[in-house]
Amino acid sequence: MKDERGLYYHPFPQNKRVRMYVRKDEGTIWFRLWSTDDEKLWEEHGWVPYEAVEQATAMYEGKNFDPGRAYDIEVARMLLKVEG
């Protein structure tokens, strides 16, 4: 999907109020989270390279937020390929 901020998907399909935006720059896929319930989120948290997501996923210990699921590289690749 796409809007004025760019390409996005819903990282939590049951919650359409949260979007994960994706872009590709200099060979790296970047992610940025946005939520209608937290207007500051977009401004306070910038674009995150996938390498940082991989590091966070490696440290994940099964708590409330799994970065590997929210920052889905396969979905991001698909969106970027379709937009091509």
Inter-residue contact 31 to 22 (CB < 8 Å): yes
3-state secondary structure of 46: coil
Q: What are the per-10-residue average pLDDT scores of the chain (84 residues)? A: 96 95 96 95 95 86 77 96 90
pTM assigned to the model: 0.90
Sheet architecture: strand order including 18-25:
2-3, 6-9, 18-25, 28-35, 48-49
